Amino acid sequence: MSRKIRGVKGTRDVLPIDTYVKDEDPWLRIGHYQLIERSARELFPLYGYREARTPVLERTELFVRGIGQETDIVGKEMYTFDDKGDLVTMRPEGTASMVRAYLEHNVNLTEPETKWWYLGPMFRRERQQRGRYRQFTQIGVEALGSPGPRIDAEQIELLDRWLRLLGIPFEMHLNTMGDQNCRPRYREALQTYLRSRIDDLCDDCKKRVETNPIRVLDCKNPKCQEVAAGAPKMEQFLCDACRAHFAGVRESLDKLGVKYAVDPKLVRGLDYYTRTTYEAIATGGLGAQSTVAGGGRYDGLVKELGGPDVPGIGFAAGVERMALLLAQQGKEEAARPVVFFAPLGPAEEARADVLAQELRAAGLAAEVSFRRANPGNQLKRADALGARFALVLGESELQSDRAKLKELKTGMQHEVALSDLVPAVQKLLGEKR
């Protein structure tokens, strides 16, 4: 026998059944993803976001320039290959791609403000652990063209509403990173401080002091956290414009009734951020990878990618992390048959096929068993599929035109006429509602 071929490490299958991956999270089913995706599709347009789709493959340069050479993502996590002379990368995130598409199609020339949302797989070569994969799914939004703080608050309120609609327990964290005027002075002060504490830092952070000192602030290593606790704070270095923007965001959030905690350690892992940054952090159920969604303002990115001076702000949520939380609460979308037919012979099979067709034409899910099995086993299968009713069809039912719809949850039997099945099922469903 030939050897079975396994999926690639850090990727997972999402099926309508439980899949268990070693050292990893069991029980993620497609229904958990569908619930999250449907709620985004319904909610985001209410805030004016329209869906946009861009390719998985982009030129490597887009991410190097967009996300930043010194970030972990660009430095060590990208899936990059030489496509016969072109260096291409499987996107590690969506923001740079959205901005590329925005510029490539000159959207800035026709729309003063643009709001897009997106959904799709992202790729980062990370160490696999609970809630962290090499292929994962993000749902994100990007708003381009609005410099003021009210859009920041509107977007944070959208994320807050979405997570609350899904019943995900979280806390919203908020910070400001300053801009090109005030951040360099902060970076310098931070670097001077970190150099004085260099021996107390982990090996990665020793390097970060010179390349990306702000990232030391969110290192998970306890020694680094202790050093970070005594570091100078961005707050003390903010220029007047950034200070006013942050005050404006907080004021608007208060007006919209959104609860949040100001968190000076929230610095984000991508270099494009300016001013507002925010994260929704799960308050349980995820372990170390507890950030469900993160985002912020990126006022310099459009220019960095060759466009005009257009500001932007967005967030992306990790669908797998959200799905894990929904799985723990037993919430998912499930495609269940309303009626499961178990025909006992060839004539009954032919009738069942047509009855199922009639139900489907009326918008009711119906499934016909294609195997010969005794009624007991057929009922077990109907139960496993989560069917509402099972209908065993034998010779006598066919002849008398009378059959029993068995309600699987209660065991109750409802006698119906086969020639009148659709209205009978509709009536039963109506009564239960």
Q: Would you count residue 318 as binding ligand HAM (CB under 6 A)?
A: yes
Interaction mask 234-273, ligand HAM, x per CB under 6 A: -----------------------------------xx---
The count of residues in the chain is 433
Q: Would you count residue 93 as binding ligand HAM (CB under 6 A)?
A: yes
Q: Would you count residue 197 as binding ligand HAM (CB under 6 A)?
A: no
Q: Would you count residue 66 as binding ligand HAM (CB under 6 A)?
A: no
Provide the minimum distance between the beta carbon of 360 and ligand HAM in the complex, in angstroms, as a whole number.
37
> Which CB atom, from 318 or from 337, has the smaller least distance to ligand HAM?
318
Provide the minimum distance between the beta carbon of 24 and ligand HAM in the complex, in angstroms, as a whole number.
11
Choose, by CB under 6 A, the member of 316, 325, 327, 382 that binds ligand HAM: 316
Q: Would you count residue 124 as binding ligand HAM (CB under 6 A)?
A: yes
Please count the residues of this chain forming the interface with ligand HAM, following the rule CB under 6 A: 28
Q: Would you count residue 290 as binding ligand HAM (CB under 6 A)?
A: no
> For residue 138, what are the β-bridge partners?
120, 318
Q: Would you count residue 157 as binding ligand HAM (CB under 6 A)?
A: no
Q: Would you count residue 132 as binding ligand HAM (CB under 6 A)?
A: yes
Span near ligand HAM by CB under 6 A; candidates 317-325, 347-355, 356-364, 373-381: 317-325
> Which CB atom, from 313 or from 391, has the smaller least distance to ligand HAM?
313
Provide the minimum distance between the beta carbon of 386 and ligand HAM in the complex, in angstroms, as a whole number.
29
Span near ligand HAM by CB under 6 A; candidates 41-49, 217-225, 293-301, 421-429: 293-301
Residue showing the smallest CB distance to ligand HAM in the complex:
318
Tokens standing for 267?
Answer: 């610095």
Provide the minimum distance between the beta carbon of 173 and ligand HAM in the complex, in angstroms, as a whole number.
11
Span near ligand HAM by CB under 6 A; candidates 20-28, 104-112, 292-300, 408-416: 292-300
Determine the angle formed by the axes of helices 240-256 and 149-166, rounding to 10 degrees.
40
Provide the minimum distance between the beta carbon of 381 and ligand HAM in the complex, in angstroms, as a whole number.
35
Q: Would you count residue 321 as binding ligand HAM (CB under 6 A)?
A: yes
Choose, by CB under 6 A, the member of 66, 178, 294, 343 that binds ligand HAM: 294
Q: Would you count residue 58 as binding ligand HAM (CB under 6 A)?
A: no
CA–CA distance from 397 to each of 57, 303, 364, 401 (Å)? Answer: 58, 73, 22, 6
Q: What are the residues whose beta carbons fall under 8 Å from the beta carbon of 30, sequence distance 6 or more? A: 14, 15, 16
Q: Would you count residue 140 as binding ligand HAM (CB under 6 A)?
A: yes
Provide the minimum distance between the beta carbon of 272 and ligand HAM in the complex, in angstroms, as a whole number.
8
Taking alpha carbons only, the member of 49, 219, 245 closest to residue 140 is 49
What is the contact surface with ligand HAM in residues (CB under 6 A)?
A: 93-95, 124, 126, 131-133, 136, 138, 140, 142, 269-270, 291-296, 298, 314-318, 320-321
